[in-house]
Amino acid sequence: MTLSDHIQLPTSRPDEAPQAHATARVRDSVLGAWTRIGEATSIVESNIGDYTYLVDHCQVIYSEVGKFCSIASHVRINPGNHPMWRPTQHHMTYRRVSYGFAERDDEAFFDWRRDARVVVGHDVWMGHGAIILPGVTIGTGSVIAAGAVVSKDVPPYTIVGGVPGKPIRERFPREIAESLLRIAWWDWDRATLEARFDDLSMDIEAFCEQYDRA
């Protein structure tokens, strides 16, 4: 589903349509099935994968977010960089119209920001207040600790925390992580998810043994 400008949808409904709090703002973005967008959250020129939810007061811009991601309150994904190479970093140099300096804004600058997209894999958990800086890729299955500031790419199934964000440990042994990536359960259709739903709570090794046919 593609949405432009603002959307106002009910906050609770048992169907696959995207849901957003009345105070959320979604502009020129795509929200997948079963997505949930919380209070005062802003999403701009981004794609949000199926089943992903953002709790409240989040900001996402120029990003690709995968399926089944759990994004806590006050997370910021791809905050805007300023032009450090110019005599002034102030946004009057690119938001020219609102300051009366020109009839058009500096679109080349905004294109530069768009080129530094953030890519978030599937089944990623981001804790309260985490910040993902421009151009970073977060691997599938990763955990970003509350308050972390992530400036470098994160491998799949890695727990990262701190300022700047650094790997703390891997969630699973390498062979388990590789098995999960092969299974790619996040790509199962709804009927398959319903049929195998209880298995998503089973022991991880048993789950991999059952579904990894590699």
For residue 106, the number of C-alpha atoms closer than 13 Å in the C-beta half-sphere is 15
Query: For residue 9, what are the contacts with CB-CB under 8 A and spacing of at least 6?
Result: 17, 18, 19, 20
CA dihedral 148, 138, 126, 69 (to 10 degrees): 170
Among the options 21, 57, 82, 91, which is catalytic? 91
Query: For residue 27, what are the contacts with CB-CB under 8 A and spacing of at least 6?
Result: 3, 4, 5, 6, 43, 44, 45
Is 92 within 8 Å of 106 (Cβ atoms)? no
Longest pairwise C-alpha distance within the chain = 64
Concerning whether 90 is annotated as a catalytic residue, the answer is no
φ/ψ of residue 60, rounded to 5: -135, 130
Which residues have a catalytic role annotated? 91
